[in-house]
Amino acid sequence: MSSNSMADLVGEYVRVAQKYHGKAISVLRKQLEYSETNTRTREDVTQIVEMLEKCTIQKPLTAREVLRLRPSGSLSKKLVVCSEDDARKIFDKGPPCFPVLVVESSTQQHISIDWFLGILETRASLDVHDFGKNIKKKGRVAVRVPSSSAIDMFKSRQEMQRKGSQIYPLNFLNLNGIKDNAVPGFLANRKDFKILELSREENGKREYRTESTDLDESTSFHLLASQGAVHLPHVDHHYVYTTIFNEEGHKLWLMWPGLGIDGLQTWRETGQVPDGGIPVYIAPGYTLIQPPGTLHAPITVSDCLMTGTMHWHSSQLHNILRYTKAEIEDPEITNESFSRQFIEKMTIILALWRRGSKAYTWPPDEHLNECLEILEVSKRYVQLMKGR
């Protein structure tokens, strides 16, 4: 892609992102006008609006600019917008420390919300967040309801919204991946990024019970939410790269990249997100690659379906374990349960590293003993949780 084309791409992104940043604030403010006290909308949306009003759309870097730079703490806080071909060049250079937004390409296939709802009808139940619920009584825990009831609720609120009625949003969770070839093309078949997927217990033997949030299931997933659904700031667990492809609708992804463990601990201690959050607009057909350990808060500007994947990179095992230890010390950093599958996978992976397997790119050997020690800490934590 030429320099002029890259500049045009960035300029167009900034123009449209500013529009949807303003629209997100408008949609959420309107919801606050009719929301009742103590509802999820009143409590959570109030906080998100305050965060959005303190943020501005950042002018992203181009792929050419970022490929000339060396990794640094300041670079990790920058957004890059690029084509699929340029994303491939970025990943050829190594796992990026910065968020990357990849524009739509002609090779991508979309699934629609209506098609997806049809698939969900085959399931027995769904986990649903209803933003009209009183969180003082119900908390922020999703409610498991029959699939038919959840889908009827989603469709009826869609219809009410089309007629101009104000509705409370819904957010569906634990939607395991059903789309074929969910991994973005520029990331596919990169061996070091497949270590989470390829680390399997031999002979099907498992010591720990698999849960709905476990790692195998999180490697491919979907997000379905109606207009106005938000999520308070959190970090995806176990230091994963997260890719998010927008199938349909409009999403604003507010993020604070590059904080590191110290920055995340400061956020938890103060209860305040740092200044300088980046609102990233993810248009239909766009893909966001979120670096591990990124504090983020998704905002649904219109009914939206997304397909996501999660990955470990083998060279980052030391950080994967360090961040996992931070999650053990403060479980509220993430919105997900500690994976029971983490122990079995990490045991397999560290054994490969320890015996010098050439299959993957490993961290410096000087970190191996610390990684093994954190694995033992994780085992004790899981045993403690099982006893509760």
Helix/strand/coil (H/E/C) assignment for every residue in 33-69: HHCCCCEHHHHHHHHHHHHHHCCCCCCCECHHHHHCC
- Contact assessment for residue 288 and residue 81, using Cβ atoms and an 8 Å cutoff: no
For 157, the 3-state DSSP assignment is: helix
Q: Domains in the chain and their CATH numbers?
A: 3-314 (2.60.120.650)
Report d(CA 162, CA 154) in Å as an integer. Answer: 12
pTM score: 0.93
Of 230-244, 334-348, 367-381, the range with the lowest mean pLDDT is 334-348
> Of 140, 72, 91, whose CA–CA distance to 241 is shortest?
91
pLDDT at 118 over 60: yes
**Tens-digit pLDDT profile for residues 40-53:** 999 999 999 999 99
Q: What does pLDDT average to over the chain?
A: 91
The pLDDT assigned to 208 comes to 41
In order, the DSSP letters of 117-148 are: HHHHTTSSEEEEEETTSBHHHHTT--EEEEHH
> What is the arithmetic mean of pLDDT over 294-318?
97
> Of 203, 306, 172, whose CA–CA distance to 252 is shortest?
306
Report d(CA 73, CA 142) in Å as an integer. Answer: 36
The pLDDT assigned to 229 comes to 97
How many percent of the chain have pLDDT more than 90? Answer: 76
Report d(CA 294, CA 124) in Å as an integer. Answer: 33
Residue 191's alpha-carbon distances to 65, 275, 313, in angstroms, are 26, 36, 9
Strands 251-256 and 278-282, bridge-based pairing: antiparallel
> What is the arithmetic mean of pLDDT over 306-324?
97
Tokens of 173: 């969770």
The pLDDT assigned to 137 comes to 85
